[in-house]
Structure 1
Amino acid sequence: MSSPPVLKPVHNQTGHDEPVYRDIAVVLTQTPGEDTSLNVAASLARRFGGELEVLQVLAMPAPVTDAWALMPDPDLMERYARIREAAAKRTIDLDSRMKSLGVTGRVHVLEALFDTPPDVAAAGARRTDLAVISRPDNAPADAALVHRYFAGLLLESGRPVLVVPATCDVSLPPRHAVVAWSETRECARAVHDALPLLEAAEAVDIVMVDPVPTGFEGADAFGASLAAHLSRHGVATRIVTDKSRGRPVSRIILDRASRARAQLIVAGGYGHSRMREWALGGTTRELFLESAIPVLFAH
């Protein structure tokens, strides 16, 4: 029996073998602007020789059961049939769309019946390198729905999540990227997961807000060790430190990205609990809702 073919690693600009995005999940949430996430994911697939795994999640109405429910509800069965029929038609459209974008991939129809749609999407993304999702603009209810998907993906898939504003026309990999850096495991994970994009960028700003001295870095060397690490990956960096002075950290990062005309922000996600983020607001939630450019989050 012959052995399966072995994929050769893609070489980065420095000539070293580095992780790339071989399989990219595109999570569809039935909200406006999903073409944007598909377009961005396709551009990354073309860049890195990857394939798309399009996750079409169906929120199936849960059956209501009681002691007398011996037969399936015919109305519910008809609703299921209509949902599945619409998904089958959309699968044909999505297959055609991928061909027009010059990428290969598969469309998966995932039914969320007894699990929540975000949990089903997270399970589907675990076998990929990156999940991409679009955030609707000027539609608070839709944005809230997508935020639930985003939180499930970030916390349950074990994969980085690239959030793309629906009206964004920025192409990736970026020319200029901003890394929102602090001494947390989430930020370290985000930088590692974003390496394929950072290596392709012409310039990367390491932005730190209210940094504090550690055993590795004193006040005269904030960001130096991360810059040295990225330099060994062929990434040209610039270190930027800011004081918050009462301003939200998210606003400082967004302002820096805007002034740099960056096309990507890299950030750790949910360094605090989700409950605190919802109750008090937080950097992750605010970057998700307010960024005009793609943000790659990792947890």
Structure 2
Amino acid sequence: MGYKTILAVLDSTKSARQISDFSIALAEQFGSHVIGLHSEAVAAMPLIAPMEIPDPVAVQAMQDMAHEETRTIGQVFEEAGRREGVSTEWRSFLSSSGYGQAFTDSTRSVDLIVAAQGEQGAASENRSELETVLYESGRPVLLVPYIFKEPKPIKRVLIAWNGSREAARATFDALPFLKQATSVEIFSVVDSEAADASKALPGGEIAAALARHGVNVTVVTKELAELRASAHIENRLSDESIDLLVMGAYSHKRWWEVLFGGVTRTVLDSMTALTLLSR
């Protein structure tokens, strides 16, 4: 079992090389075909004041810039594939309305989507729309922190577990990574004072299921106490030198607003590990 078709979302020249390199590295690991995907927006029509006359010169200049960006991103991706001898495919779409149906269709026919972490503390309209498309794709999304410059092996994995449908989906979507990891931790933040608190060990059943797949798994719980759940997760990522965080994406179009049963955007804004999200 592995990720045989990987989609690299190349939305900007700033992250094109990083996402290309990470996607190609995963393709080498799993024997995958990689699709490089870019959506080029049709330039809006600038108007000349005071009569609001369309300015075709400005429109052409803006479109030329967009074409050049697409060409540059395509070159970066294709060169990375040739360099490593990986099977690749380049797709670029011209769209006047965001990312368009062709872009969305591409996201729904792959095993794994690889995309860059958004700018910290910012959510441009374009980025927000991209994340909405990825969120609605129905496929697992691997986010790469902008601080990561080159791929490294995924040896230590942490699963943020709260027993939800989304967490279960993310866990099994991550199974190819889990089976190759040296250690996998089921991590739960519990509130022992909650009225519905269970005395059973959180994560015990999912750990047993993963163990049957040959996953080297342990279960760890932390008391909610005075720390937020996001702070517990961040501390654990740092203390255990985690390479991959696996968590459910919850029923809201902005991942960072409602995560892990109330964890805020803090987790994704301060990413120190690759993060796999599923809904």
Paired residue for 1:126, among 103, 108, 114?
Answer: 108
Cα RMSD (Å) of the superposition? 3.3
- The CA distance in 1 between the partners of 2:256 and 2:5, in whole Å, is 33
The Cα shift of 1:106 comes to 1.2
- The CA distance in 2 between the partners of 1:259 and 1:166, in whole Å, is 20
The Cα shift of 1:207 comes to 0.3
The answer as to 2:163 corresponding to 1:180 is no
- The CA distance in 2 between the partners of 1:89 and 1:164, in whole Å, is 21
Q: Give the TM-score, by structure 2 length.
A: 0.83
Counterpart mapping for 1:145-184 below 5 A: 148=128, 151-169=131-149, 171=151, 173-184=153-164
Task: Tell me what 1:21 maps to.
Answer: 3
Unaligned runs of 5+ in 2: none
The Cα shift of 1:122 comes to 3.8
Task: Tell me what 1:5 maps to.
Answer: none
The Cα shift of 1:239 comes to 0.5
The answer as to 2:77 corresponding to 1:94 is yes
The answer as to 2:99 corresponding to 1:117 is yes
Tell me, yes or no, if the aligned pair for 2:13 and 2:72 is still in contact at 8 Å.
no
- Secondary structure of 1:283's counterpart equals coil
Tell me, yes or no, if the aligned pair for 2:128 and 2:254 is still in contact at 8 Å.
no
Instruction: Using the TM superposition, name which of 235-244 and 217-226 deviates more.
Output: 217-226
Task: Tell me what 1:296 maps to.
Answer: 276
- Runs of 4+ off more than 6 Å: none
Tell me, yes or no, if the aligned pair for 1:170 and 1:293 is still in contact at 8 Å.
no
Task: Tell me what 2:32 maps to.
Answer: 50
Measured against aligned partners, the alpha-carbon deviations of 1:205-230 in whole angstroms (never above 9, x if no partner) come to 10011167xxxx95133211101100
- Secondary structure of 2:132's counterpart equals helix
- Secondary structure of 2:9's counterpart equals strand
In structure 2, do the counterparts of structure 1 residues 182 and 256 end up closer, same or farther at CA, with 3 Å as the change threshold?
same
Paired residue for 1:262, among 242, 245, 253?
Answer: 242
The answer as to 2:32 corresponding to 1:41 is no
Tell me, yes or no, if the aligned pair for 2:24 and 2:84 is still in contact at 8 Å.
yes
- The CA distance in 1 between the partners of 2:46 and 2:12, in whole Å, is 24
Instruction: Using the TM superposition, name which of 253-262 and 89-98 deviates more.
Output: 89-98
Using the aligned pairs only, state the percent identity. 28
- Secondary structure of 1:277's counterpart equals coil
In structure 2, do the counterparts of structure 1 residues 241 and 234 end up closer, same or farther at CA, with 3 Å as the change threshold?
same
- The CA distance in 2 between the partners of 1:276 and 1:259, in whole Å, is 23
- Secondary structure of 2:6's counterpart equals strand
Task: Tell me what 1:12 maps to.
Answer: none
Tell me, yes or no, if the aligned pair for 1:39 and 1:101 is still in contact at 8 Å.
no
Tell me, yes or no, if the aligned pair for 2:24 and 2:80 is still in contact at 8 Å.
no
Task: Tell me what 1:238 maps to.
Answer: 218
- Secondary structure of 2:236's counterpart equals helix
In structure 2, do the counterparts of structure 1 residues 220 and 176 end up closer, same or farther at CA, with 3 Å as the change threshold?
same
Residue identity opposite 1:28 in structure 2? L
Unaligned runs of 5+ in 1: 1-17
Residue identity opposite 1:127 in structure 2? S
The answer as to 2:177 corresponding to 1:194 is no
In structure 2, do the counterparts of structure 1 residues 292 and 149 end up closer, same or farther at CA, with 3 Å as the change threshold?
farther
- The CA distance in 1 between the partners of 2:79 and 2:209, in whole Å, is 42
In structure 2, do the counterparts of structure 1 residues 31 and 81 end up closer, same or farther at CA, with 3 Å as the change threshold?
closer
Tell me, yes or no, if the aligned pair for 1:135 and 1:146 is still in contact at 8 Å.
no
Tell me, yes or no, if the aligned pair for 1:269 and 1:284 is still in contact at 8 Å.
no
- The CA distance in 2 between the partners of 1:42 and 1:189, in whole Å, is 25
The Cα shift of 1:250 comes to 1.6
- Secondary structure of 2:184's counterpart equals strand
- The CA distance in 1 between the partners of 2:156 and 2:85, in whole Å, is 25
Paired residue for 2:185, among 199, 202, 205?
Answer: 205
Residue-pair matches, total: 269
